[in-house]
Amino acid sequence: MNKSHNGEAPRIIISGGGTGGHIFPAVSIANAIKELRPDAEILFVGAEGRMEMQRVPDAGYKIIGLPVAGFDRKRLWKNFAVIIKLLRSQLKARRILKEFHPQVAVGVGGYASGPTLKVAGMMGVPTLIQEQNSYAGVTNKLLAQKACKICVAYDGMEKFFPADKIIMTGNPVRQNLLANKQSREAAVTSFGFNPEKKTILILGGSLGARTINQTLIAALDAIKAYGDIQFIWQTGKIYIQQVKDAITTTTGEAVRNPRISAIPNLYVTDFIKDMASAYAAADLVISRAGAGSISEFCLLNKPVILVPSPNVAEDHQTKNALALVDKEAAIYVKDADAMKHLIPVALETVADAQKLKTLSENIAKLALPDSATIIAKEVLKLIDKL
């Protein structure tokens, strides 16, 4: 069957973004829909000036941006302009839906999904929400009232959503991560390191993580002293110059390449393009606790130390981390304690083969494969009901 019930190709809007944690799953869902229905027409709706406006076209899909911004929960007086942008975004979303005529709208979280799915619901377009976190955000709880289906990645989500709408799907991850068959030895070598030594991968999400970066900066001398342990450090674009300046101050070496000759067990970059190799190389990962990243760690069986960001709505990263810690599937270090404890805990953990094995086995039990395909099938079911 190549056409929908009325003879037309499926028309689907996918809305959301803001960070890689929202964009990568959205693209994975789109790809899964195209695999099932190659004739499907998919339009993304994102937020102007955000990462999705570049990453989605790079993946081969059209995107339209809304002039939407997030609420400032600490400085409430700044939200008047945000409200105006939200109203403008709803008007633009209405125009987009009228012109594109979607048969279903999918929300993956992020600034743009709120106005897009709200307007879709008001216009009678079936909607599906993909809630990534173990603690639902305010926007998705509101959107759930009119949503047809709610795809979740954690047990117990009936606390937030109507139980009859919930489908346990897990979070989609980047397909290239699962397709990678590279050995650990080849992956470690690709970073210029010794496969016989342990390797720690440090991530802060696609935008970077201030506390993790500052902790690593403060530990540069310790990193150099632990030459038997290798570090692959993704700083994020916001922090790369600060990190390079700190390395120059510590070593007297200007940083021109990812490999630091004065600290030969350190590889530094703002963004790792080949994340599949980075994961394959890693014996231990240090990361924020974004839902998308956690799903990747589960599917790839990666031992991880989670340092949840304190700067996210409803503190959902801490709740994500504790959901794993409760199952002995991750180690948790509070953001406020990272400067003192993160590096000692990481060095102790990576040297403990039994601990790494236990963490790997336990996190693997939480993996939910084929999430993108399951969600894609639910999207197409909504169209078939029309």
Q: Any known ligand binding at 133?
A: yes
Cα–Cα separations (whole angstroms), residue 346 to 147, 173, 209: 42, 25, 17
Measure the N-to-C terminal CA separation of the chain; round to a whole number of Å.
16
Q: Any known ligand binding at 317?
A: yes
User: Comparing C-alpha atoms, which of 161, 134, 156, 115 is closest to residue 13?
Assistant: 115
Q: Any known ligand binding at 17?
A: no
The burial class, CB within 10 Å (0-12 / 13-18 / 19+), for 181 is exposed
Tokens 């802060």 belong to: 204
Separation of alpha carbons 94 and 66, rounded Å? 11
Q: HEC profile for the chain?
A: CCCCCCCCCCEEEEECCCCHHHHHHHHHHHHHHHHHCCCCEEEEEEECCCCHHHHHHHCCCEEEEECCCCCCCCCHHHHHHHHHHHHHHHHHHHHHHHHHCCCEEEECCCCCHHHHHHHHHHCCCCEEEEECCCCCCHHHHHHCCCCCEEEECCCCHHHCCCHHHEEECCCCCCHHHHHCCCCHHHHHHHCCCCCCCEEEEECCCCCCCHHHHHHHHHCHHHHHHCCCEEEEEECCCCCHHHHHHHHHHHHCCCCCCCEECCEEEEEEECCCCCHHHHHHHCCEEEECCCHHHHHHHHHHCCCEEECCCCCCHHHHHHHHHHHHHCCCCCEECCHHHHHHHHHHHHHHHHCCHHHHHHHHHHHHCCCCCCHHHHHHHHHHHHHHCC
Q: Any known ligand binding at 21?
A: yes
CA angle 192, 216, 323 (to 5 degrees): 100
Whether 333 and 345 have beta carbons less than 8 Å apart is answered as yes
Q: Any known ligand binding at 248?
A: no
Q: Any known ligand binding at 311?
A: no
Q: Any known ligand binding at 83?
A: no
Q: Any known ligand binding at 272?
A: yes
Task: Enumerate the known binding-site residues for UDP-N-acetyl-alpha-D-glucosamine.
Answer: 19-21, 133, 174, 206, 272, 317
Task: Enumerate the known binding-site residues.
Answer: 19-21, 133, 174, 206, 272, 317
